Amino acid sequence: MPDRRPLVAGNWKMNGVAASLTEIDAIGDGLIDPPCDVAICPPATLIAAAVERAKNTPLMIGGQDCHMAEKGAHTGDLSAEMIADAGGKLVIVGHSERRTDHGEADALVRAKAEAGWRAGLLVILCIGETEAERRAGDTLAVLDRQLAGSLPDGADAHRLVIAYEPVWAIGTGLTPSNDDIQTAHAHIRQRLVATVGNNGAAIRVLYGGSVKPGNADEILPLPDVDGALVGGASLKAADFLAIVAAA
């Protein structure tokens, strides 16, 4: 099995103002020889400032979304090149809140992933089923469909991470059973290998969905879980660092 170094990434979503940068300071200060790669994706207004605060630490800073174009008449949008120019190292694409709130289809997510690669960013590509899809027994079929439609050609471990986020578990406090998580991750791994060959065995697959200090010790050691994409628990340095330690 390839040696996949875990990644714990925090997604601040639409949270954070300048005063919140003290949490970046605390996270950076707490990363003494961390057991994994660590990243925070703050709102776009804080990317450059967060990069400056984290510059002497192992903490990477990234964006939560990007437009597929490099530049142009796209009011309010942010290109992957702008994230890189601000010092960002990664970008999240295809998060369920983008897919649901903004109607982002797989083809658009794929184009955004390609834009992230164009700018030299590590792309965290999110997939996951809704509660209705889970109840219908369609979880694995949904993951197959989203991977087939969202995954660009040429994926490898140096520029792609997959995040499995069951939509019904995001921000609800609910989590799948450990067996369900492992089953989903093993299936994603199988599909990655089938799609991109040996490169698929080295691509990290993160779990996301109400990850917190209280359950990280159970989830992160699962065989096919290579880290976590953390929402609310990443807003407080103490909680986030506890999840990092669990990796």
User: Given pLDDT bands bounded at 50, 70 and 90, which one contains residue 3?
Assistant: confident
> Which one from 23, 67, 81, 95 is the annotated catalytic residue?
95
Is the separation of the CB atoms in 9 and 230 below 8 Å? yes
187 is catalytic: no
Q: Is 185 a catalytic residue?
A: no
Largest CA distance in the chain: 48
Task: Give the Cβ contact number of residue 69 at 10 Å.
Answer: 16
Of 97, 129, 165, 185, which one is the catalytic site residue?
A: 165
Domains in the chain: ranges and CATH: 7-15+22-160+168-175+183-227 (3.20.20.70)
Residue 129 near residue 183, CB atoms below 8 Å: no
pLDDT reading at 50 higher than 60: yes
User: What is the residue-averaged pLDDT of the chain?
Assistant: 96
Cut 0.75: pTM above it = yes
